[in-house]
Structure 1
Amino acid sequence: MESAFRECRTANRLRRDPLIEVFRSQAASDCRERALVLRAKGIPYEELRDPESNRLLVDEARAREALVELRDYEEENRNWPPKDAPLRRARGGPEGIALYATVLILVFVLDRNGAFGASWKSAGASLGGLSLAEPWRALTALTLHTGPPHLISNLIFGALFGYLVAAGLGGGIGWLAILVAGTLGNQMSAALRGPGTVSMGASTAVFAAVGILVGSEWRRRVFLRQRRLRRVAPFLMGALLLGYLGMGGENTDVSAHVTGLVAGLPIGALAAKLSDRTVQDRRLQIASGALALVLLLSAWSLAL
């Protein structure tokens, strides 16, 4: 910016053209934004600052051109950034919850009864070290539970956070995102744990859903150009939920909870960029939900 100031002053000294004020504001940031507009258009300017105002001045010969460019800039940004944007409401939340509950309960019953003569926990649990060689375990482990309390807890919180994700992304895309993030979370957790450690349960996917919510809300606030503290707030809320729901208890798998949340963050941020048209596409939602089921069935086919 300083080079632009020097260029302008030199030209004025040589030509002795009078300077015309084209913008004035008490906010220095507003003045800097307009200065960037002038610089982009190749219009030399001077920026004068005093305790009461910040001003932009240009050569009289280019004042009309500068005013036109600044006026066009004002028109393009008249309603930007918006004060707020309504949260997107997509379909498929209840259907996704019903399918989520059906899968967890079905696998629990099959495991308890040793269906197909298999030990489902031995075949599908996430094992430190081994899960890297058998990546399907990172997915199948999400559907296994040690007992009814473990299952019920994940049914309740999974339904809650899964519904919120589906409300923004739709039932198909939302639950596919949760499944992918939960699987990645289990893989990261397995890489961090030592050999012989066992992990199972949908809680990794539950915290992946929390991560998706945090990432998507952060992206929305960045889009709205909200203040830094408001942008950081979703991360603080995610950390509070992790501390309150994911750190207590003697048998709590803290590693899987943390990695699940971490895996959900970038997926949520990317998913937030989906257009309303994409999210409202019923065929895409059905295809995404079907893909989630195919991935799950394929993983269990490999495990058994």
Structure 2
Amino acid sequence: MNQNDSAGQSGGTAEVELADPWVLAAKVDAADLHDLSLVLSAVGIDHQLDRRSGVITVRRSRSERAMFELRTFREENHNWPPPDVLPPPFVRTGSLPTLLMFVSLILFHAITGSWLSDNPWFQAGAVSSQAILEQSQWWRLLTALTLHADQGHLVGNCVIGGVMVHLLCKTIGSGTAWLAMLLSACLANYLNIALRVDSHYSVGFSTAVFAAIGIFCGRQLLGGSLIRQLIVPIGAGVGLLAMLGSGNEGGRTDLGAHLFGLICGLACGLLLQRAGLDEQGDRSNLQKTLFAAALVLITVCWLLAIGAAGPQEFRKYL
């Protein structure tokens, strides 16, 4: 009886093999066999694997469905996993340019001294609405950034301003940061006097610091995580205002310059971000060229200021 049953079962298996044989469904890399096997198992298709050759076989009656499922799986996962989306690069440039600039500000203050009515440096280089608007002494828009009313004014700009400028340089590159910051601050100084009806005088690097804060903010306006990324620049701005005060101190500093510095920086940051220039910080030669341009711009402006005032006024300082 058992022998007859065995013979019957063997004959039945042979008949199934002849009627519905195993056929090739796919030939893949051995590393993909496991995933494709899971696909076929999920839809209930019996299959066999040959791990050495990477072959998957199925019954002929299910071969069309099996190949459809495998083809669909491959198409849906063609680009999986997706490539990593990296955040904008945090450019790791050296801190030497920023250090050089702020050391220069300190040494320059040691030469010029504090604000005095008869000090030729302030007479020639301070923002003066009359001299700029009526006499076209545009260089004052920049030379004023290098002058400081007193040591407290200088310390405030160097401490908080140094941190902000250093971070900006490491984010978009030293050359881009310094040139963009100076140009934004110059525009801010111009707007601050052009929109006034009274005469105005001011000095100080704080306008450029607020421009740096604005550039930081402007770069983030079109991106995500806005609030988190603005904490540092906005906090720096509040801290600088607390140290410098927000009103006119003897006509030397004012809120208008700070406000316009922030606004012009915002616009500059947006332009840099839209043009992709804020992502060029890892191009060393470009950054060196832009930083050199910033130095040349400062030097030329002071040469024009000294020339207009008369070099003899500065002989005791030089």
The percent of aligned pairs where both chains have the same amino acid is 32
Alpha carbons of structure 1 residues 193 and 101: separation in structure 2 relative to 1, 3 Å:
same
Contact 2:175 2:290 in 1 (8 A): yes
Contact 2:213 2:234 in 1 (8 A): no
Shift of residue 163, structure 1, vs aligned partner: 0.6
Shift of residue 207, structure 1, vs aligned partner: 0.4
Structure 2 counterpart of 1:218, from 218, 221, 229:
221
**Counterpart of 2:221 in 1: which secondary structure?**
helix
Shift of residue 107, structure 1, vs aligned partner: 2.3
Alpha carbons of structure 1 residues 81 and 113: separation in structure 2 relative to 1, 3 Å:
closer
**Counterpart of 2:277 in 1: which secondary structure?**
coil
1:189 partner letter? N
1:245 corresponds to 2:225: no
- In structure 2, what is the equivalent of residue 65 of structure 1? none
- For structure 1, the 5+ residue unaligned runs are 1-67
- Find the aligned partners of 2:114 and 2:239 in 1 and give their Cα distance: 34
- In structure 1, what is the equivalent of residue 101 of structure 2? 100
Large movers: runs of 4+ above 6 Å: 74-78
- In structure 1, what is the equivalent of residue 271 of structure 2? 270
How many equivalent residue pairs? 221
- In structure 2, what is the equivalent of residue 9 of structure 1? none
Larger CA Rg, structure 1 vs 2: 2
TM-score by length of 2: 0.60
Structure 2 counterpart of 1:290, from 289, 292, 305:
292
2:221 partner letter? W
Shift of residue 188, structure 1, vs aligned partner: 1.2
1:140 partner letter? T
- Find the aligned partners of 1:176 and 1:163 in 2 and give their Cα distance: 14
Alpha carbons of structure 1 residues 285 and 196: separation in structure 2 relative to 1, 3 Å:
same
- For structure 2, the 5+ residue unaligned runs are 1-71, 307-318
- Find the aligned partners of 1:154 and 1:260 in 2 and give their Cα distance: 14
Contact 1:211 1:265 in 2 (8 A): yes
- Find the aligned partners of 1:289 and 1:186 in 2 and give their Cα distance: 21
Contact 1:242 1:258 in 2 (8 A): no
Shift of residue 172, structure 1, vs aligned partner: 1.6
Aligned-residue CA RMSD in angstroms?
3.2
Contact 1:172 1:289 in 2 (8 A): yes
**Counterpart of 1:183 in 2: which secondary structure?**
helix
Shift of residue 238, structure 1, vs aligned partner: 5.5
- In structure 2, what is the equivalent of residue 16 of structure 1? none
Shift of residue 292, structure 1, vs aligned partner: 0.2
Structure 1 counterpart of 2:188, from 185, 190, 193:
185
